Amino acid sequence: MTVKENIESKMNKAIKTQFLEVIDESHKHAGHSGARPEGETHFHINMTADEFNGKSRVARQRLVYKILEDELAGPVHALSLSIKGTDD
């Protein structure tokens, strides 16, 4: 399973998402610190879920970081987030 597939799987298991898009942006960071030649180090997540309703931006980010803590401690060097609740 690729890192991207693992992120998608973990997010879908932990949160009932209405929309989830995981984008590997590693190619934009070639030669930067933390980048590996094989990629899968820099990701962007676009996500919408009921779980985020009523939560602050920081609380939403903390939830995602907790779910992906193993990936962030290992293969993922950078993660950017565009996350919103269904009420947003």
pLDDT per residue as tens digits for the range 54-86: 999 999 999 999 999 999 998 998 899 999 999
Q: What is the pLDDT of residues 7-30, one digit of tens each?
A: 999 999 999 999 999 999 886 756
Question: CA-CA distance, 54 to 73, in Å (whole number)?
Answer: 28
Alpha carbon distance 56, 78 (integer Å):
21
Say what the pTM is. 0.86
Domains within the chain, CATH numbers bracketed = 3-30+40-84 (3.30.300.90)
SS percent in the chain: helix, strand, coil, step 5: 40, 25, 35
